[in-house]
């Protein structure tokens, strides 16, 4: 399996506080069946003032801690908070898209979206960067209006389910939204969004729920086929 969204890089945001925690997260994900995990530390000005160069240095500094450990293959990207500054970085090639540069992980303010959102997502697609919306089940806009997300997907935007939402990690309302968006086939892939080793048990439970409730084929689509397509800059067929 492939995890497109994980905060194992230590000391850089609200994810793993130490290198030991980061290693433990990766070892745990390996034991759950993950072969590739992408580090996606926050790039959120004013909260996590990370830039491409600093994140790259932090990633390289962490690599020696993985030598000789039973961990998945790892690579680096970022969770881009889609404000004016980060939007400009993406257009200028100063951000951290997924490996290969064909897709970029985006997050928004959970209560409301930035202005001109559809135009800006279109701008990314025009530059052959596939927008990947992180955890849409958390955004209040989609709780009562899933058709708003459906419109974005129809326009070529892709989405990433946080699997822990399915077992209530973020509350009942995001859980219900995740279930509805899955039923509507509005997810192109899934992820763990793991921030600490203690949540590995929740991830394991979520994987079991997907397998038992939606089937092994859906689990494979969300964590293998979908992520593989997104890394290639392609929107997978749901």
pLDDT in tens, 213-230: 999 999 999 999 999 999
HSE-up (13 A, CA, CB side) for residue 10: 18
HSE-up (13 A, CA, CB side) for residue 19: 11
Q: Give pLDDT, residue 114.
A: 73
Q: Give pLDDT, residue 238.
A: 56
Rounded to the nearest 10 degrees, what angle do helices 146-154 and 172-183 cross at? 40
Domains of the chain are 2-231 (3.20.20.140)
Of the given ranges (92-101, 113-122, 129-138), which has the lowest mean pLDDT?
A: 113-122
Report the distance separating Cα 202 and Cα 131, nearest Å: 27
Mind giving me the DSSP string for 186-212?
A: --SEEE--B-SGGGHHHHHHHHHHIII
Closest CA to 233 of 132, 130, 81, 99: 130
- Is 237's pLDDT higher than 80? no
Closest CA to 208 of 221, 219, 195, 192: 219
Report the distance separating Cα 27 and Cα 95, nearest Å: 28
Report the distance separating Cα 44 and Cα 181, nearest Å: 26
Tell whether the torsion through CA atoms of 143, 145, 149 and 152 is positive or negative. negative
Report the distance separating Cα 7 and Cα 225, nearest Å: 22
Confidence of residue 113 (pLDDT cuts 50, 70, 90): confident
| pLDDT tens-digit readout, 57-91 | 999 999 999 999 999 999 999 999 999 999 999 99
Global pTM exceeds 0.85: yes
């Amino acid at each position: 399996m492939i995890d497109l969204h994980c905060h194992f890089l230590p000391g850089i945001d609200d994810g793993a506080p130490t290198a030991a925690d980061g290693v433990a997260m990766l070892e745990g994900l390996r034991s759950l069946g993950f072969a590739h995990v992408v580090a996606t530390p926050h790039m959120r000005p004013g909260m996590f003032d990370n830039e491409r160069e600093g994140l790259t240095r932090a990633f390289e500094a962490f690599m020696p801690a993985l030598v000789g450990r039973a961990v998945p293959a790892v690579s680096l990207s970022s969770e881009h908070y889609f404000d004016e500054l980060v939007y400009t970085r993406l257009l200028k090639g100063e951000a951290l898209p997924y490996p290969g540069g064909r897709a970029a992980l985006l997050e928004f303010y959970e209560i409301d979206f930035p202005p001109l959102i559809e135009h800006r997502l279109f701008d990314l697609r025009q530059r052959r960067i596939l927008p990947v919306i992180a955890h849409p089940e958390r955004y209040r806009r989609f709780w009562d209006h899933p058709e708003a997300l459906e419109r974005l997907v129809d326009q070529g935007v892709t989405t990433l389910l946080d699997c822990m939402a399915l077992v209530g990690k973020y509350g009942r309302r995001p859980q219900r939204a995740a279930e509805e968006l899955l039923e509507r086939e509005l997810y192109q892939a899934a992820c763990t969004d793991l921030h600490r080793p203690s949540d590995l048990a929740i991830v394991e439970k979520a994987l079991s729920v997907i397998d038992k409730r939606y089937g092994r084929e859906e689990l494979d689509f969300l964590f293998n086929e979908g992520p593989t397509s997104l890394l290639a800059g392609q929107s997978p067929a749901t």
